[in-house]
Structures are given as C-alpha cells and as structure tokens.
Amino acid sequence: MGVLGCCVLVFALFFQCHSRSVQNPMFRFKRFQDNAWSDPNDCSRTRQPFVLSNPYNFSLDIRIPGVIPTESDSYYCMAVPVPTSQEAYIVDFVPHATMDTAHHMILYGCKTPYASQGYWDCGKELGTCRDQAKIMYAWARNAPPTKLPKDVGFKVGGETRINYFVLQIHYGDIKNFRDHHRDCSGLTLRMTSKRQPFIAGMYLMMSVDTVIPPGKKVTNADIACTYPSSPMYPFAFRTHTHSLGKVVSGYRVRNGQWTQIGRQSPLLPQAFYPVTNTIDVRNGDILAARCVFTGEGRTTITQIGGTSGDEMCNFYIMYYMDNSRGEPYMNCRDDGSSELFRNIPSEANIPIPVSPDHMMSMKHESAPHKDVVKLQEPKIEEEVLNQGAHLVEVSDWPEAELQLGQVSGLALNSNGDLIIFHRGDHRWGMNSFNFNGIYQQKDLGPIQQSTIMVVDPVKGKVLKASGRNMFYMPHGITTDMDDNYWVTDVALHQVFKLSSDGKDRQLLVLGEAFEPGSDKKHFCQPTDVAVDPVTGNVYVSDGYCNSRILKFSPEGKYISHWGAGSLDRKRRVSFLIPHSLTFLPDKRELCVADRDHGRIQCFMADTGEFVKEIKKEQFGGEVFAIAYSPVQGGLIYAVNGVPRDGQVAPLQGFVINYSTKEILDSFSPDTQEFKLPHDIVVTADGSVFVGDAASDSVIKFVQSAKAEHRSVKKGGIEVQEIEETETFVQANLKPLPKFPAQHPVAAVQKIQEPSQKQHQQPLAAPEEKETTKTKTAANQSTQGVSTAIITTLLLVPLVVVIAIGAFIRWKRGRMYGDDCQVKLEPSRSAGGILGKIRGKAAGGLNLGNFFATHKGYTRQGFDRLSTEGSDLEKDDEDGTDSENEEYSAPPAPMSSS
C-alpha cells in the first residue's frame, strides 16, 4: 500500500505540473515553442552571428541581446554593421519571434545609427538612425516570412550608404515578462556577394494630416504622388492602421486608369502579401492609396500619431528595379486631390470582413484607451438588414424619352457618359441577310438618323449625336484611350475607328464594304470590338459567320487570331457566335460572350491562351453580352437571351464573381420586361445600363441602397442627399431566388434562412438522447453502488497522501514561481557587456521625424513610428499559421504593362 501511495504521489505531482501547461497554452508556447517560421527566441542558445556557407553566400543573425522590458509599449533598437565593405545583397529574411513576446519588428538600413554597440530605448529620446532610416523589412503578428523573387535583393554596403542594420522591436505587453525571462528575438539575413540583376526597395505611402471626427461613420485618408523615377515593379504590399482602420488600398493611376496594387484589412496579420496585379510603375504615373476609418465609438477627434489612441495610415510597396538605376527607398505623404479620388474604384470603400478572433486581438491590453472601439462582426440580423446592393431598375430614367431604334451597342467614354449605338429606322429581320451572311437590303441605303448618341448617365439627356448616313446595320461599339469610337457594322462586314468630335471622321477602316470573308483582311458579320487601354491593340469578335477573335495593332495591322477554348486545353470547341467582348485591364485578359454556347470564355490578351470558362444553368443556353468591373477582385456583368432550341430561362442580367465564377446577383426591370437584351455596360459607381434591341430602349439599374437616396437639385446641380464618402459601398448582393449560390465570396456574405423544421430538429434530438443517457447511467450506478463504496474506503488513505503532496507542491510554487519549467539563467556576457546606452543625441532625419515637426506634434513616440504604433495586440491563442508567401521570379522588364 505504501509503494502504491508513493507512486500515486509522484504521478500527482507530475500531473499537476503538466496540467498547468495544458490549461494555459501560453506556458508552452510563449518563447520555448518552435513554429513554422520561428526558432526558439530564448537566450540560452549559442549562435554564430555570421556564417559563411561558400565564397559568395553567407548569413547574418541579428538578435536583440537579452532584453527585459520594464514597461509596456517599449521600443528597443540595436545596430549591427554590414559584414562586408563591398556591395552585397539580402535575398531572404527569416524572422525568429512570436507575437507572444514581440509585438512587431522592423529592420532599417542606414549609414549612421544612434549607437553602434549594445541596445537602446528608441521609443523616447532616441530614434533609430541619425540619417535617413530606410525600411527594409517589417514583421508583426506572426506574419509569415517574406520571400523575395529570384534575382532580386536589397543592396547594402559599398556605395549604398547602408553600412548598418538597425533592428527595432516593439514589446507591447510586459505581462509576458512577468517571469523576468530575457528576450532574444530577431531575424536572420541570407545574403550574397553576387551581383543581382534587380534590387529590391520599399515605397512607403503615409498620411500625416488625417483627422477622424468622433462618431463619424466614414473618414477617408487619401495619399497620392506622381512617380518620378525609373520603372519599378511592385511584387508585395503591406497595410497598416490602428484599431479604427477598416480597409487600405493602393493603386497605380495611368491615363486615368486605376490598377490595383493591393487591398487588405489592416486588422489581419500584417505580412507582405503578393501584389494583386503584375504591373510596372513608370515616370509620370500616379501612386494613390486610401485608408478608410470609422470614428464610431470615439468621443474625441483622432489624429495621426504613435500611441494606441492615435491612428496611422500606411501602405507599403515592396518593389524591384533594374540594378543600374534602382533606388532602395522612396516615400509619399502628400494628400490626394478630391478630383483624383473621385474616380477611385468603389472596392476601396468596401470593408474586408475579419473574424471575431482577429477582432478581439485588436484590444490593447497594456494601455487601453477608453474610447477605442472594439470592432466586431455584425450579427446575422444586422447583416441581413445591410444587404442592399441588389440591382434595381431606375424607373424614371431617362427623364425625356430617347428616340432610338434597335439598340445594338453600349459604351462609356472617359467622362463616364453613356454612348448608345442604335439602328434608327433599320431593323434586322428575316430577310436582312442570306445564308452566306450577305446583306439583302442594300437598296435601303445607310441609316439617315444619328446612330451614335452620347447621353448623360444621370438624367438621360442627349449631349451629342453623330453617325448619320454611315451605317447599314450597327452592332458593337467601344471607346479607346482617346475616346475614339470603335464600331462594327454586320451589313458592311467592317470595323470603323471614328472620331468622337461629332464630325464623323473615319480614322481607320478594317474590312471591305459588303464583302464577307474569313482571311486577315475580311470579316463576316463582325459583332464587337475591345481595345487594350495600355497598348492600344484592337480585338474583334468575328462573328456570325466566322468563329474567331482577331487581334490588330492600333494602326490596324493584323497581329494574330484564335478560336474558342474549353476546360481541356487540348480540345478546342469552336465559338458559336462570339457576340460580345470585354477587356480586363487589371488581369490583362479578354473575355468573350460565346452567345449560342451559353458561356463566357476568357483568354490572355497578349497570347490568346485560354484561361477559364464560365457556363451556368441560369444562362439558359445563351449569353448575349458581357461587361467587366475590377471591384471586389473582378465582377463580370452579363445578360442572357432566349435560346433557339426552346429551352426556357428567364431573361435577366447577372453579376458574377470572376475568381469563383459564382453568380452573386440576378436582376431584371420591374416596370417592363427584357425582350432582347443585347448589350450591357457598368459605370465606375456601379450603375448598370442594358440596351434592349426589341423594345428600342436602354434600361438603367442601380444598387438598391443607392436607389433609396433620391437625388435633389440645388442651384441646377444634381447632388445626392447623402455624401458619397459617407457611405460604405456594400458588397453584399441579393441571392438568386431560383439558383442560390453555394459558395460565399470574400466581402460577399449570403445568409440563407433555415426552415422551421431545421431549427426544431437539432433541439429535439439532443434532449431525447440525453434522457436515455441519464436513465442508463442511473441503472448502472444502482448496480455498482456496492463496488463504489468499497473502492472509496480503500482510496481514502491515498487521497490523504495526495493532498499532502499537493500542499507541499503549492508551497514550493509560491517560493519559486508558478511555472514548472526549469529555466537556466543565461550568462550575462550578452546582456551585461552590451549595456544600455541612454541619453540625448542630435536629432537626425528618420521616418518618424516626418511627424515630429508637423502641426505641433510632439516628438515622443514618432521615432518609433517609423513603422508602427501601439496598435495591434497579440492573439492569446491564435497563432495565425499562415503559409509562407512566395513570389514568382520577376519577368523581364516590359515596355508596357
């Protein structure tokens, strides 16, 4: 019995110690646990700071030397010299930290740090560098490592003026150091002395003037600068705000065209994510960024600053440039003009949903601010109420009736005006063409009415009209960068480039009049045109007789052509009337409405390589027209038609997520019916116009949330009752009544109301099961009562022994600490020799100094602001195990993007 009691006592002591780590995972994971991207950051390990793997490649280990922060929101820095006086390149960063200990890390490069030995407090009097501090790397909230593309590196040493690395670490909550352990977080730089073809750099866009009024639902911080340097190629981006930020987006603006670089919620792990589009940025382009904030929950104004009660608006672009002309660091802090940002894609105003776990991690435990709003996902009831973006008809548009014939094509110019292409008094009927596609009513002559009408999209007022006595059977229309019209005439079998000045000047003509054909110089009833806004290349869908897409240069020189593609790239299925085209500038793709196959096919615009196919039962066998909007990662708008095989499907429009192919919304007019929806366009603000060839009309649709706010006239100017910037653009679209989508998309949440039966069933079953379980347990307990009494009497002595052991263990815990883990105190060779360097030094220029002299802001907290403030806090148990971000090898610099 004594031997048994001793064994039980030993087991109890072991179990008690082990159970503490089970009950609180922080005891196991705080700093002794390796994760996918982090070595243990305790200071008991002996490390080689410099490792030479071969004559060219080496690695440099930079670790903070045994820091014990004494107060929350501490910022400590240390400097390490570049290990070579010659030119070298950082080709990889490997972080060694966990958010349980370090809030964030920043690596700077500079010529002269504030100190060259030891570590110092760089969050108060001292900064990071005496000269300009160049951000080279940032890590926060267990962000995965940032992988540079092949042949790309951050150039240091030599003539770069980067002779030192400065590692800055922010320790958010000192509760993590209650056991007085020392921290040795840091990172490893993998470097090479081999010259890299491309050098990496950082472009930081930051707002310094933004003021967020208390209680205001939406405040935008807009930043924009004209890019002045050699071509750069973004490959990663990172966003940063404090707790009031909802979404941060960055763009390149060229010739009025906005191309997304990246868009992310600043509440998610602050890693460098791959850019959305592979683009270049050239001299003269505009780089623009917007941060969207909410002041709800605050009782005082919020300004830009470095504390938890302040805000920040940062958009980082990691890029590469040609080695001979590269710059390692650039920044932009100019406020963007309202005129420029009037055309920003609506996606920039759409908050990105973040899970409640990530939301709760935003709470600033060490220094809570009484007014900090805790962002939480809306309840299901609120989500249903907020779903208001279903497209609905504007019944009173246009204000005055438009005198139209069969509406065959729609387009938009750079001002956002609607362009209508119609057939006047000519109508396509049974006798218009023979079997070979030859026009049979040539004797009617050309259409005498103006076939091209420019219309105000708000009121429907005709602004300009042209195209008299030119066309016999108009079909498709689009515009180019200079607002020239590109149109097709199926009777003439020709494509025209026309001036938009109203003088009907023919700038270019492709094909021969009334001569159908299938070679490089002839078309057969061409249906539509698309123009690449960057290269100016022209794409023609040809058409009713031929089944091909032709590509021409801006001057009309034939380049190539291709046919249809299918999901099997080895098998080509011919188009059956390629009827409509839309160009995807942000994806460099061309999509085709293959009408009588009831599908949408997309191709690489440069090569014609097949990319994807979208074919849905809801289309009913025909897709007449398509349009594209880059918002929400890409939306395709489409209209169907009545198929000839008798298949029945309602005539309607569709909103389709390009990435997932999911139908997000379907729409149709309320005051009339679609008869032959022939073309569709979508404006920058999300309004949709559909041209109906059978009813000779154009129908306007807007999001239902906007339709509720009627416009009013003030002084002859039409304005909205609610400011545009005061409204988040809702991404939630109405589910289809007949064909509900099965997979939700990012920023689009669909809530299906379960049936009453589904609610009741889960409630009844568990109750019945529990009753049965209770009865069984009662029977078993009755049968085994005698055995239980005997066992209890035998275990009484054991319980007494265990209680005595537990008491002894508790007393020892009070003396030596709560953790059962045996810790070895590290030698003081690192922390003692490298003592703290304190005191004031001459102020130099670094990133934080942008704020130090701005509008009376105090210097305190802004040297550390170089990157981050006291914003995001640790997830107690959410490690955010993201995969490492990989970036593809850089393409050879192109003349265009």
Q: Residue for token digits 């807009």?
A: 222
Helices (H), 506-595: none
Strands, sheet with 599-604, edge to edge from the N-terminal-most edge strand:
578-584, 589-594, 599-604, 610-614
Q: Does the annotation count 860 as an active-site position?
A: no
For the chain, give percent helix, strand, coil, nearest 5: 15, 35, 50
Of 865, 752, 702, residue with least CA distance to 240: 865
Please count the other Cβ atoms lying within 10 Å of the Cβ belonging to residue 703: 23
Helix (H, G, I), strand (E, B) or coil at 89: strand
Q: Does the annotation count 18 as an active-site position?
A: no
Q: Does the annotation count 422 as an active-site position?
A: no
- Residue among 206, 312, 453, 473 flagged as catalytic: 312
Helix (H, G, I), strand (E, B) or coil at 461: coil
Residue 323 CB partners (closer than 8 Å, separation 6+) = 155, 195, 196, 197, 198, 199
> Do 423 and 473 touch, CB atoms closer than 8 A?
yes
Q: Quote the CA–CA distance of 113 and 639 in Å, as a whole number.
A: 62
Of 279, 183, 292, 207, residue with least CA distance to 236: 279
Q: Quote the CA–CA distance of 49 and 88 in Å, as a whole number.
A: 17
Q: Does the annotation count 364 as an active-site position?
A: no
Q: Residue for token digits 């059956």?
A: 576
> Do 561 and 553 touch, CB atoms closer than 8 A?
no
Residue 634 CB partners (closer than 8 Å, separation 6+) = 584, 586, 587, 628, 657, 658, 659
Q: Quote the CA–CA distance of 168 and 103 in Å, as a whole number.
A: 11
Segment (H or E) for 841: none
Q: Quote the CA–CA distance of 271 and 275 in Å, as a whole number.
A: 12
Looking at the DSSP bridge assignments, the partners of residue 466 are: 452
Q: Does the annotation count 759 as an active-site position?
A: no
CA distances from 396 to 74, 407, 418, 698, 774 (A): 61, 19, 17, 12, 67
Q: Does the annotation count 312 as an active-site position?
A: yes
- Residue among 170, 422, 426, 493 flagged as catalytic: 170
Q: Residue for token digits 């267990």?
A: 142
Q: Does the annotation count 170 as an active-site position?
A: yes
Segment (H or E) for 886: none
Fill in the amino acid letter for 222.
Answer: D
Of 656, 660, 613, residue with least CA distance to 636: 656
- Torsion region of 71: left, alpha or beta (phi above 0 gives left; psi -120 to 50 gives alpha): beta
CA distances from 710 to 163, 462, 559 (A): 61, 22, 49
> Do 654 and 677 touch, CB atoms closer than 8 A?
no
Angle between helices 785-816 and 756-783 (to 10 degrees): 100
- Residue among 78, 99, 104, 105 flagged as catalytic: 104
Q: Quote the CA–CA distance of 624 and 209 in Å, as a whole number.
A: 49
Q: Quote the CA–CA distance of 604 and 390 in Å, as a whole number.
A: 31
- Residue among 105, 196, 206, 242 flagged as catalytic: 242
- Residue among 99, 136, 168, 601 flagged as catalytic: 168
Segment (H or E) for 518: none
- Residue among 96, 103, 364, 678 flagged as catalytic: 103
| Four-point Cα dihedral 33, 38, 43, 47, nearest 10 | 130
**Sign of the alpha-carbon torsion through 233, 238, 239, 240:** negative
Q: Which pair of structure tokens corresponds to residue 837?
A: 């360097």
Q: Quote the CA–CA distance of 151 and 165 in Å, as a whole number.
A: 22
- Residue among 240, 358, 579, 597 flagged as catalytic: 240
Exposure of 819 in the CB half-sphere (CA atoms within 13 A): 17
- Torsion region of 694: left, alpha or beta (phi above 0 gives left; psi -120 to 50 gives alpha): alpha
- Is the link from the previous residue into 543 a cis peptide, with omega within 30 of 0? yes
Fill in the amino acid letter for 789.
Answer: I
DSSP 8-state symbol, 739: S
Q: Quote the CA–CA distance of 731 and 159 in Å, as a whole number.
A: 50
Give the residue numbers annotated as catalytic, written as ranges.
Answer: 103-104, 168, 170, 240, 242, 312
